[in-house]
Amino acid sequence: GIGLDFTQITLEMEDGWALLTINRPKVLNALNQETLQELERALDEVERRKEIRALVITGAGEKAFVAGADITELRRIETAGEAERQATLGQTLFTRLEELPIPVVMAVNGYALGGGFELALSGDILLASDQAQFGLPEINLGVLPGYGGTQRLARLAGKNTAKYFALTGDRMDAETAYHLGIVQRVVPAANLKEEAKSLAAKLARKAPIAIRYIKQVINQGSETDLKTGLRLEASSFGVVFDSQDRVEGMDAFLEKRKPSFRGE
Ligand code: HXC
């Protein structure tokens, strides 16, 4: 593992990518303040280490990815201002994750509820175990999703799909999430780790600058009109074309060999 004194998560370095595990299995990996702070520090570390070219996030144990914000902690919040700050804090962290310059793969191994679903929604690619369950049960606690769920789910799956799940609190299985375009692939539970690993390794071998711009252009483009998005695509195409990796990629193709990208 990477030598940081985490207690609620683990961060392990693999070959060119990192594995972050939310590690509070006794409470189904619920997110308390300390976990959010450690997540923040983990992202600092991931961004600092240029050799990390992809990040996988998963939950410890068999049962849960993340069962939401820690309800024991939420219950102690006393004022509207404090609650708003809490929502903003989580939103800021998840937006940072979404905007990370490397791809983030969510390996959803079980319950992804409330804040856990919202965490998953801030990833770039969602792999789900066939045992995964997604949902926004906040309504059953008398509140609403506060870490971006109302916004990201509506953008990803459509307004009324988001309303259905946020209003009813019903859970959906992995197959349903796949059909709604939330999850990119469903795999047998026993294969999830392997699949996430090979996907991360594959992404880590791609040209890092192109990866960064693809992610940015799709994220920013989905928040704007088509013409603005296309301009963004063209200007980014120009920027990426200036990279050494572009020369390497095209040379490798013409020389019938595998490219070796260096992020330059
Ligand atoms: C605190 C939690 C928890 C949570 C589970 N636990 N989820 N503790 N916060 N979100 C704890 C349980 O209290 C229990 O502790 C242990 O984990 C095991 O859970 P069980 O409920 O016994 O397991 P099971 O019966 O299998 O049910 C699994 C479950 C259920 C369906 C996932 O745990 C559940 O409904 N959890 C809450 C899901 C939820 O409402 N999430 C949204 C939170 S609000 P003990 O001590 O009994 O062993 C949110 C808002 C985000 O995320 C925005 C904030 C601004």
pLDDT digits (tens, 9 = 90+) for 231-261: 999 999 999 999 999 999 999 999 999 999 9
Mean pLDDT of 61-76: 97
* pLDDT computed for residue 4 by the predictor: 80
pLDDT in tens, 15-39: 999 999 999 999 999 999 999 999 9
30 Cα to the center of ligand 1, angstroms: 7
pLDDT beyond 90 at 2: no
138 Cα to the center of ligand 1, angstroms: 11
Q: Is 105 exposed, middle or buried, given 0-12, 13-18 or 19+ CB atoms closer than 10 A? A: buried
* pLDDT computed for residue 88 by the predictor: 98
Nearest Cα to 124, choosing from 97, 150, 92? 97
* ∠ CA 128-132-135, rounded to 5°: 110
Residue 197's SS3 state is helix
Percent share of the chain, pLDDT over 90:
98
Nearest Cα to 72, choosing from 112, 30, 40? 30
Residue 235's SS3 state is helix
Amino acid (1-letter code) at residue 181: G
Residue with the nearest Cα to atom 53 of ligand 1? Answer: 146
pLDDT beyond 70 at 168: yes
68 Cα to the center of ligand 1, angstroms: 7
166 Cα to the center of ligand 1, angstroms: 17
Nearest Cα to 9, choosing from 19, 23, 29, 30? 23
pLDDT in tens, 216-236: 999 999 999 999 999 999 999
Pocket probe mutation, ligand 1, options 27, 117, 172, max atoms within 8 Å of Cβ: 27
pLDDT beyond 80 at 134: yes
CA 217 from centroid of its chain's CA atoms? 17
- What does the alpha-carbon distance between residue 11 and residue 22 come to, in Å, rounded to a whole number? 9
Pair 138, 168: CB distance under 8 Å: no
Both tokens assigned to 246: 């572009």
Which protein residues touch ligand 1 with a CB less than 6 Å away?
27-28, 30, 67-72, 86-87, 90, 111, 113-115, 137-138, 141, 146-147
Mean pLDDT of 113-132: 98
- What does the alpha-carbon distance between residue 221 and residue 230 come to, in Å, rounded to a whole number? 8
What is the pLDDT confidence band of residue 210, given thresholds at 50, 70 and 90? very high
pLDDT beyond 90 at 136: yes
Active-site amino acid positions: 118, 138
- What does the alpha-carbon distance between residue 116 and residue 262 come to, in Å, rounded to a whole number? 34
Pocket probe mutation, ligand 1, options 26, 71, 77, max atoms within 8 Å of Cβ: 71
- Write down how long the chain is: 264
Across all residues in the chain, what is the average pLDDT? 97
